[in-house]
Every structure is written in C-alpha cells, then in structure tokens.
Amino acid sequence: MIIRITDQPIDVQELIAEVSNESNGGIVAFLGVVRRWNDSPNGSPREVYWLEYEAYREAAEEIMREIAQQIEEKWAITSIAIAHRIGHLEIGEAAVGIAVGAPHRVEAFDACEYAIDTLKATAPIWKKEAWERDHQTGQSWVENKAPL
C-alpha cells in the first residue's frame, strides 16, 4: 500500500503497479490535474497560472490511511495506492493520484471514487490559486465544493 504526501511528480505507473497482483482483474486509477480554467467564487471561470499546495502532512497521511481502512471494510479491498503532491504545480500536473485494484471492476470503480471524494472532503490539504480575470490578478485559497 502506498500512502504518500510528496513534493515530487506523481507516477501513475508506480501506483498501478502497486495495486497489481494475480487476484486483481480490475484496476481503476484516478488523477486530479491542474486545469487552466477554474470557477471563481461567483461561478464564472478564471484563468489559473499555477497552484501552490500545502498539507498538514502527518495528519493528511493518517486520513489517507483511514480511507484505505474504510475501503478494506466496505469492499474487502487491500490494493490501494494514494499519493498527493504538495508545493508548486503548473497547469497539467497531477495533484493527486489514486489506484485501486480489485478482483472485479465494479468494486474498483466504487472504491476509487470513494477514496477521492473522501480525500477531498477531509484531508487537511490546501491550495492557493494564482489567477487572472478581466485584467485582474490575485492569489486565493480555494476550498473544495461540498459534495452534493
């Protein structure tokens, strides 16, 4: 199991390899990537220049371990890898990578989606966004939308 906060680029191949074994017929991987256009607080999109991620590292890793444990309890899945990057990220770079392997694909999809939803809602990780809109620039802490 990989549970990692890192300032290095996320290697999805490594995450997938970690959850691959003879019993797992389905592997689902998720990458959360910095995109150029993001919604501003009033809903209209603004251009993003870069993001700066910071984490309460020990607590975030503990939360990620708890997510892995919940997934084991819910789906009996133990093949899971979660890596979150911190520091300066440019457009197109992955901030988070998750891979889940399971005997059958339905559980792998469900568990992977559960992992990213729960991580985004609970892990003590923050991002500051450098943006421009209508010739105005700024830097703002961006919070995740609450799940619907």
Partner 1 sequence: MKVKLRFFASWREIVGEEEIEWSLGDSQNVEGLVTELIAKYPRLIGTALNSLVMVNRRYTDRQATLRSGDEVAFIPPVGGG
Residues lying near partner 1 in the complex (CB under 8 A): 32, 53-56, 58-60, 62, 84, 95-96, 116, 119-128, 141-144
Angle at the Cα of 145 from the Cα atoms of 136 and 31, rounded to 5 degrees: 90
Nearest residue to 43 via CA among 145, 117, 147, 148:
145
Angle at the Cα of 13 from the Cα atoms of 87 and 94, rounded to 5 degrees: 30
Q: Does 10 bind its own copies (CB under 8 A)?
A: no
Quote the least distance from Cβ 124 to its own copies, whole Å. 20
Q: Which does 127 bind (CB under 5 to 8 A by kind): its own copies, partner 1, none?
A: partner 1
Q: Does 33 bind its own copies (CB under 8 A)?
A: yes
Q: Does 91 bind its own copies (CB under 8 A)?
A: yes
SS3 22: coil
Angle, helix 57-75 to helix 105-122, in steps of 10 degrees: 150
- Please provide residue 104's backbone torsions phi and psi, each rounded to the nearest 5 degrees: -125, 150
Q: Which stretch binds its own copies (CB under 8 A): 19-27, 61-69, 121-129, 135-143?
A: 19-27
Q: Which does 33 bind (CB under 5 to 8 A by kind): its own copies, partner 1, none?
A: its own copies
CA distances (Å), origin 11, targets 18, 30, 52, 84: 11, 12, 19, 11
Q: Which is nearer to partner 1, 77 or 96 (CB)?
A: 96
- Interaction pattern, residues 34-73, with its own copies; x per rule: CB under 8 A: xxxxx-----------------------------------
Quote the least distance from Cβ 64 to its own copies, whole Å. 17
Residue 93 structure tokens: 């770079």
